[in-house]
Amino acid sequence: MNTMDPLFAPLFALASSPGQQVSPLIQLIPFALVLAIFYFVILLPMKKKQAKVQDFLESLKAGDKVVTSGGLFGSIAKITDQVVQLQVAPNVRVDISKAAIVGYQGQAPVVEAPNT
Render pLDDT for 31-60 as a digit per residue (tens, 0 to 9).
999 999 999 999 999 999 999 999 999 999
Give dist(CA 116, CA 111) in Å, integer.
15
Band (pLDDT 50/70/90 cuts) for residue 10 is low
Report yes or no: 101 and 68 within 8 Å, Cβ to Cβ. yes
pLDDT at 91 over 60: yes
Q: Where are the domains of the chain?
A: 21-56, 60-104
pLDDT of amino acid 77? 95
pLDDT at 76 over 90: yes
Comparison of pLDDT for 49 and 111, the residue scoring more: 49
Instruction: State the average pLDDT for the chain.
Output: 84
pLDDT of amino acid 8? 60
pLDDT of amino acid 62? 93
Q: Which helix (H) or strand (E) holds 88?
A: strand 83-89
Instruction: Classify residue 89 by its DSSP letter.
Output: E
Architecture of domain 60-104: Roll (2.30)
pTM over 0.85: no
Report yes or no: 69 and 55 within 8 Å, Cβ to Cβ. no
Q: Which helix (H) or strand (E) holds 108?
A: none
Q: What are phi and psi of 40, to 5 degrees?
A: -75, -25
pLDDT of amino acid 2? 54
